[in-house]
Amino acid sequence: MKTKTMIVLIVALSASAIPTASADEGMWLLTNPPRQQLQSRYGFTFSQQWLEHMQKSAVRFTGASGSLISPSGLVLTNHHVGRSAIGKLSSAEHDFIKNGFYAKSLDDELKCTDLTLDTLWSIKDVTKRIKSAATGDMTLSQANTARRQMMSAIEQESQDETGLLSQVVTLYNGGQYHLYSYKRYTDVRLVFAPEQQIAAFGGDIDNFEYPRYCADFSIFRIYEDGKPLKNEHYLRWSDTGAAENELAFIFGHPGRTSRLETVAQLEFTRDTSMPFDMAWLFRREVELQAFMGRSAEYNRIGQTRIKGVANGRKARVGMMGGLLDPELMRRKRDDEQRLRASFEGTSSADNPWDRVARAMQAYTSFYRQQAAINGVFRGGLTGYAMTLVRMAQELPKPSSERLREYRDTALPRIHQRLNSTAPIYDALEVDSLTSALIGLAWTYGADHPVVQTALGGRSPRARAEQLILGSSLKDVQVRRTLADGGWAAIEASDDPLIMLARSLESHTRELRTRYEDEVQAVQRQAYAQIAAARFALDGDSVYPDATGTLRLSYGPIADWEEMGKKIPSFTNIGGLYERAELRKGEQEFILPESWIKARSRLDPATPMNFICKGDVIGGNSGSPIVNAKGEVIGLVFDGNIHMLVGRYAYDERTNRTIAVDARLIKSALKNVYGTTRIINEINDASKTP
Amino acid sequence: MKTKTMIVLIVALSASAIPTASADEGMWLLTNPPRQQLQSRYGFTFSQQWLEHMQKSAVRFTGASGSLISPSGLVLTNHHVGRSAIGKLSSAEHDFIKNGFYAKSLDDELKCTDLTLDTLWSIKDVTKRIKSAATGDMTLSQANTARRQMMSAIEQESQDETGLLSQVVTLYNGGQYHLYSYKRYTDVRLVFAPEQQIAAFGGDIDNFEYPRYCADFSIFRIYEDGKPLKNEHYLRWSDTGAAENELAFIFGHPGRTSRLETVAQLEFTRDTSMPFDMAWLFRREVELQAFMGRSAEYNRIGQTRIKGVANGRKARVGMMGGLLDPELMRRKRDDEQRLRASFEGTSSADNPWDRVARAMQAYTSFYRQQAAINGVFRGGLTGYAMTLVRMAQELPKPSSERLREYRDTALPRIHQRLNSTAPIYDALEVDSLTSALIGLAWTYGADHPVVQTALGGRSPRARAEQLILGSSLKDVQVRRTLADGGWAAIEASDDPLIMLARSLESHTRELRTRYEDEVQAVQRQAYAQIAAARFALDGDSVYPDATGTLRLSYGPIADWEEMGKKIPSFTNIGGLYERAELRKGEQEFILPESWIKARSRLDPATPMNFICKGDVIGGNSGSPIVNAKGEVIGLVFDGNIHMLVGRYAYDERTNRTIAVDARLIKSALKNVYGTTRIINEINDASKTP
């Protein structure tokens, strides 16, 4: 198969007329799409029908995205989105994560244990009703409650009326409220999954990197009444695939952005919190590697932990790269200046930007200490100890006066955790606690009373051994007894971890209270004002921060520059085999047997992954990428490292979405896996007008 | 072969009578060995003859140790000590590092290109002569010069008289001066080396860890007048090998300890400098791993750098573990209290401990900034840029007024470096500089003028690309032209790195001057006083800090406890094969062919490595370990992670030396390598009385 160019839309680099959103920025509401930008920049126009078709073909996974690709409920998403469901269908005998899965017939499709999918059926603006719920004589908190109650009422009303799952979405931090109604599907079956090795080829090493070579897709089917869904809306497959510079559209569910954050808060993140957190993660990653190097067993028990740490570290590296870009900060400052104008003349006490700045100043004075002491109680056993001590203190209070996580409604979760029989590994617990104690000493200074209490006269390592090996909190029964025994049991306990938690509880509580009062409360109020100021000024001419709901992003398929060289937009199957050869011997780069055998049947020139400018963030995984005709040309599965700063701002020079090319999916289904049935279904679906 | 116990000396755990040296602590002078401790603790006595025999059998490598093991000049040391010499003898055709080497006959022994070995022939106390050189009317600096001149005179005099290489060693920070005279040998030939894979089995993963499985030895021969040396003194081989709890003696050349450092300085290291340096190293290690993950080429060019970083990180992890041990600090405080008594009544301005404390306080205020800005100019190209700028500023001054490294005597080194054609890798330079710029922003705060200058309005990554790719300092000729052109050329240069160095030079110089004036000068003077105070109180009843000269350490072969379990003292060949199996697929744990083939000929019970309590530090690598009869039972090649704090203090609970068992060496030579000639020579040597 050769890459042919069908419609290459010429990229007109004229400046956009939008005040703050530059270039191909934005996760746009489908109720307010960037018509003007698309027309002026790309000469692209679309009908309301086109948009509705896209909306109803998009599928919401929990925290992720997908799309319908046949009139019989076939759903395309990433392998990593479907991974948990695939894992739950696997057994020691049938490891579908490792070996992949293909249902040769409809009857072979495997029902997922708890996978729920939604399609967005209608959107309604309910701003007026919700805003009117709060009247001028209410306090801030009363107004909040009134609005919450109105939201619930509207949701209930809609659900009763339509039978659809109904959720009110708060946009622009309260500038608008929309009612989203979903068709919810609970019978979802696994149709196809490739082997994890090819879906996540390059593993954690390649995560957030580009060029990439991942077949990160999986296929499910929605059933209704025990039969494949009969759906009117679904995406056709492009015959020709994507081309360089072609305008591409992404429909998906970006989870959360914080693009309204003030410069003061961004500076706090850049100069204080993130450097501290990153230093902690860098250290932990190296420590865990050393730990895992000790034995095959340690290597096994450290896997999950190090993945989380490495992922968190990588995400922050990307964000930090952006935060340290003076140009990004300049743009933020300019935008803030513009908004601040509307508060001109207000006293600093009333100015929300100044209030956030002061809160950040306060937070700077104790952020590191709070993070460090919380680190000590984030371990498996130390976590149990602190939970037990806190629970004994909180339960005697009325529910509404307790710390949030100990209120009556939250207690089942606490008990579930305390009753967990998930394995606890002494060696890993000791390693984590040693690390946390070192971090504590570095942050407070080794002679600080908190550190002296924590160390109890020993070195971090010796103390961690003493505490972990000497504790009996590994035993569920011991935890139960302490939980049921109330404060008397906690006070009488000589378990070394309970004693540690007891002696440091008031200190950690004090820091938490300071955070809630001096930082969080100020932020909540101030950001509501800032959002209102922006909304008053720009209305909905800018997109709202992501909320995990359906959005449209757009931008051409385009390379970016690094080291003075262009990083090409497309990779191909030939490159996959080259990379596997180059990285021979590394676990992350081992090709599955199926791909080794299929090599002669595959055209090395077939595009594998590509990049485009569309603005995405976590939650967009599995989003379909379509061309101007609304045909599938790719599948979002990642962003490059520069995409990560997208939480705070979009930079079109370097921010890129990474996608699986639709041609790769078809080629793999046909030439590697011989899944005739699926290929036919996709082809037939694409033929229907 | 089975482990048999011959002489197991009973360890009497009576407290030692020495005021500060606890337990098996100490790197003792051979002129003042720990007779009393050995007798009272172990009932061990020895003759002057025994000691002299040890002294003359010990061999000094540059920065490391070895020993004579036959009357024909055969020398035993570590593979990692001989590695550089072995590498220089290798070629693309004959890679002796990778494949090992065995000279089947005397004629096959390969002359090393520049390996020089010394044996210590005589020691003379010259304290009186040197002290008398400085008279009461001299300033501190004059006194220093007078003593230096006297040292040179004594060295020259001795050299002329004896023909021996003569060096005055400053002990107890000037409490004593000894003249050490060495026989120097310059014709050294390679006899045997195992493959690097077995010498450093476990690689960086296992470095400083235990249990271990390394055949870290190599064998050289000293020649004189083109013939094997005829030496009277050499070590016999023990028939039976080491046994659990047996008292073991280490004769070697520990490089540097800082056990006199004041509590204030240790606290500075613990709370300020080392956490900062470690955070930098942790970050750099992870960044380099990510860099090396990008391609096979990047993987190759990052190897050397990451090894250095990982090694530095590991060493500091070990030291930090000790510094954070409140018990170690308590002992330091107690000792300091004892010494401070002799300064009772002096004003704080005259009190050396108070002066060091104030210097540390001053250093705390700028240590991190200095480290961060120096980090920016530690890269290959940024380093050239700063050197060129500084050189242009310094050369016009009289030599004595220049910064140390630009004085006339030092200039050849500068030019050698500027003329170096060692490859410079753009990608690695960009990665390093990006990292350094991030570190700079985190340390100063991103809005600091120094950071703004360094970033020039770009993100760290974009700026690093601009600077590195835009610079022509990679070209030796460009560097030469700039070096020869003086300040005019530097001032006229528009090379972006020269411009950067030019704009930040005065800032880095200011920090350097502050360090030299406010910290270093104070330390030098104060430590001389503190050492004098200690010497006045304890005389030579305590050992002096290590000086890279021959010392005796002692202590039994003994396990230690971790995670409530004993780490056994010995490993064996069976364990080696088990570990190789367990870590299959990892580069560091691949056995060489020779060991795979030899497996059936090897007794799995043969001891491989062992640990003992003898006090060692870097420089001790290759030291022989002998039993009470002075027979070789092992070869020091490493210490455990707890040994690393040995720079500041010895802790007999956990500090352990790691050694290759002499039985392993013999078994490998015989059963793996079939080196009959060497085996015979060692056996014959051991038979002679």
Between chains, do B446 and A271 touch, taking CB under 8 Å as contact? yes
Closest chain A residue by Cα to residue B443: A271
For residue B188, the cross-strand partners are B222
Q: What's the pLDDT tens digit per position in B76-89? A: 999 999 999 998 89
Contact (Cβ atoms closer than 8 angstroms) between residue B213 and residue B579: yes
| Backbone region of residue B425 per phi and psi (left: phi > 0; alpha: psi in -120 to 50; beta: other values) | beta
Residue A164: what residue type? Answer: L
A-B contacts (CB, under 8 Å):
127
| Backbone region of residue A454 per phi and psi (left: phi > 0; alpha: psi in -120 to 50; beta: other values) | alpha
Between chains, do B562 and A446 touch, taking CB under 8 Å as contact? no
Q: What's the pLDDT tens digit per position in A256-301? A: 999 989 999 999 999 999 999 999 999 999 999 999 988 888 988 8
- For B193, the token pair is 């080396």
Distance set, CA B511 to CA A186, B362, B368, B507, B515 (Å):
66, 11, 11, 7, 6
Q: Residue A118 has what pLDDT?
A: 97
Separation between Cα atoms, residue A423 and residue B585, nearest integer Å = 27
Does the structural domain A28-116+186-258+547-687 have CATH classification 2.40.10.120?
yes
Separation between Cα atoms, residue B53 and residue A424, nearest integer Å = 56
Nearest CB partner across the interface for B282, out of A282, A458, A562: A282
Closest chain A residue by Cα to residue B589: A293
Question: Where do the domains of chain A lie?
Answer: 28-116+186-258+547-687, 263-528
Closest chain B residue by Cα to residue A208: B290
Q: What's the pLDDT tens digit per position in A542-568? A: 899 999 999 999 999 999 998 888 999
Nearest CB partner across the interface for B457, out of A267, A295, A327: A327
Instruction: Please identify which residue in the block is written with the tokens 């340690």.
Output: A298
Helix H or strand E encompassing B539? none
- Of the residues B269, B286, B297, B589, the best mutation for testing chain A's interface (the one with the most A CB atoms within 10 Å of its CB) is B286
The alpha carbon of residue A264 is apart from the nearest alpha carbon of chain B, in Å, by 12
Closest by CA to B288, choosing from B404, B425, B194, B84, is B425
Between chains, do A205 and B445 touch, taking CB under 8 Å as contact? no
Q: The dihedral of CA A28, A32, A33, A36: what is its sign?
A: negative
Residues of chain B contacting A286 with CB distance shorter than 8 Å: 282, 285-286, 313
The alpha carbon of residue B653 is apart from the nearest alpha carbon of chain A, in Å, by 11
The alpha carbon of residue A139 is apart from the nearest alpha carbon of chain B, in Å, by 39
For residue A486, the cross-strand partners are none
Closest chain B residue by Cα to residue A286: B282
Closest chain B residue by Cα to residue A283: B282
Query: What is the SS3 string spanning A470-514?
Result: HCCCCCHHHHHHHHHCHHHHHHHCCCHHHHHHHHHHHHHHHHHHH
Residues of chain B contacting A457 with CB distance shorter than 8 Å: 326-327
Q: What's the pLDDT tens digit per position in B271-295? A: 999 999 999 999 999 999 999 988 8
Separation between Cα atoms, residue A396 and residue A386, nearest integer Å = 17
Residues of chain A contacting B318 with CB distance shorter than 8 Å: none
**CATH (residue range B28-116+186-258+549-687):** 2.40.10.120
ipTM of the complex: 0.87
The answer, yes or no, to whether residue B579 has pLDDT greater than 80, is yes
Averaged pLDDT for residues B36-54: 95
Between chains, do B459 and A267 touch, taking CB under 8 Å as contact? no
Contact (Cβ atoms closer than 8 angstroms) between residue B646 and residue B617: yes
Residue B642 sits at the vertex; the CA angle it makes with B638 and B646, to the nearest 5 degrees, is 80
- For B323, the token pair is 């510094």
Burial per residue of B525-553, b for 16 or more beta-carbon CB atoms within 10 angstroms, e otherwise: ebbbbbbbbbbeebeeebbbbbbbbbbbb
Residue A181 sits at the vertex; the CA angle it makes with A178 and A182, to the nearest 5 degrees, is 140
Average pLDDT taken over every residue of chain B? 92
The alpha carbon of residue A82 is apart from the nearest alpha carbon of chain B, in Å, by 27
The alpha carbon of residue A368 is apart from the nearest alpha carbon of chain B, in Å, by 14
Helical residues (DSSP H) of A293-351, grouped into ranges: 296-323, 326-340
Q: What's the pLDDT tens digit per position in B642-663? A: 999 999 999 898 999 999 999 9
Helix (H, G, I), strand (E, B) or coil at A636: strand
Closest chain B residue by Cα to residue A429: B563
The answer, yes or no, to whether residue B402 has pLDDT greater than 50, is yes
The alpha carbon of residue A460 is apart from the nearest alpha carbon of chain B, in Å, by 7
Nearest CB partner across the interface for A313, out of B205, B278, B286: B286
- For B82, the token pair is 């001989």
Integer-rounded Cα radius of gyration of chain A: 27
Backbone φ and ψ for A416, nearest 5 degrees, come out as -60, -45
Q: What's the pLDDT tens digit per position in B517-527? A: 999 888 888 99
Nearest CB partner across the interface for B446, out of A270, A278, A585: A270
Angle between helix axes B411-418 and B476-484 (nearest 10 degrees) is: 140
Q: What's the pLDDT tens digit per position in B91-140? A: 888 999 999 999 999 999 999 988 999 999 999 999 999 999 988 898 87
CB atoms within 10 A of CB B373: 24
Separation between Cα atoms, residue A93 and residue B498, nearest integer Å = 64
Integer-rounded Cα radius of gyration of chain B: 27
Between chains, do A563 and B427 touch, taking CB under 8 Å as contact? yes
Residues of chain A contacting B442 with CB distance shorter than 8 Å: 271, 275
Position with higher pLDDT, B532 vs A506: A506
CB-based contacts of A108, cutoff 8 Å, min separation 6: none
Cα A600 from chain centroid?
38
Between chains, do A427 and B283 touch, taking CB under 8 Å as contact? no
Walking along chain A (689 residues) 10 residues at a time, the average pLDDT comes out as 32 32 84 94 95 98 96 97 92 90 97 94 96 87 86 94 94 91 97 97 89 97 97 95 95 94 96 97 97 88 89 92 93 93 85 95 98 95 97 93 87 90 92 97 96 96 96 96 96 98 97 93 88 88 94 96 91 96 88 97 98 96 97 97 92 94 98 97 88
- Of the residues A206, A286, A294, A571, the best mutation for testing chain B's interface (the one with the most B CB atoms within 10 Å of its CB) is A286
Residues of chain B contacting A290 with CB distance shorter than 8 Å: 205, 314, 317
The alpha carbon of residue B265 is apart from the nearest alpha carbon of chain A, in Å, by 14
Closest by CA to A80, choosing from A221, A197, A199, A192, is A199
For residue B252, the cross-strand partners are B551
Q: The dihedral of CA A336, A337, A340, A346: what is its sign?
A: positive
Q: Residue B19 has what pLDDT?
A: 38
Between chains, do B325 and A442 touch, taking CB under 8 Å as contact? no
Separation between Cα atoms, residue A621 and residue A254, nearest integer Å = 8
Separation between Cα atoms, residue A575 and residue A664, nearest integer Å = 13
Between chains, do B563 and A286 touch, taking CB under 8 Å as contact? no
Closest by CA to B528, choosing from B171, B29, B27, is B171
For residue A64, the cross-strand partners are A61
- Of the residues A297, A324, A428, the best mutation for testing chain B's interface (the one with the most B CB atoms within 10 Å of its CB) is A324
Helical residues (DSSP H) of A324-410, grouped into ranges: 326-340, 352-364, 367-376, 380-394
Angle between helix axes A274-292 and A367-376 (nearest 10 degrees) is: 30
Contact (Cβ atoms closer than 8 angstroms) between residue B444 and residue B372: yes
